[in-house]
Chains A and B, each alone.
Chain A
Amino acid sequence: RKEVEQDPGPFNVPEGATVAFNCTYSNSASQSFFWYRQDCRKEPKLLMSVYSSGNEDGRFTAQLNRASQYISLLIRDSKLSDSATYLCVVNAGSGGSNYKLTFGKGTLLTVNP
Chain B
Amino acid sequence: GAGVSQSPRYKVAKRGQDVALRCDPISGHVSLFWYQQALGQGPEFLTYFQNEAQLDKSGLPSDRFFAERPEGSVSTLKIQRTQQEDSAVYLCASSLVVSGTDTQYFGPGTRLTVL
A99 touching B43 in the complex, CB below 8 Å, given contacts A42-B108, A43-B106: no
The smallest C-beta distance from A45 to any residue of chain B, in angstroms, reads 7
- CB closest residue in chain B, given A100: B45
Q: Number of contact residues on A: which range applies?
A: 20 to 34
Q: Which residues of B contact A106 (CB under 8 A)?
A: 41-42
> B7 interface residue, CB < 8 Å from A?
no
Interface residue count for B (Cβ, 8 Å)? 24
Q: Which of B31, B100, B101 has the most CB of A within 10 A?
A: B100
The smallest C-beta distance from B84 to any residue of chain A, in angstroms, reads 21
Q: Is the CB of A43 within 8 A of B108?
A: yes
> A102 interface residue, CB < 8 Å from B?
yes
The smallest C-beta distance from B111 to any residue of chain A, in angstroms, reads 8
Q: Which residues of B contact A43 (CB under 8 A)?
A: 91, 106-109
8 Å CB contacts to A: which residues of B14-61? 31, 33, 35, 40-45, 48, 56
Q: Is the CB of A99 within 8 A of B91?
A: no
Q: Is the CB of A45 within 8 A of B106?
A: yes
> B99 interface residue, CB < 8 Å from A?
yes
- Measured CB to CB, the residues of A under 8 A from B are 4, 31-32, 42-46, 49, 87, 89, 91-92, 94, 97-106
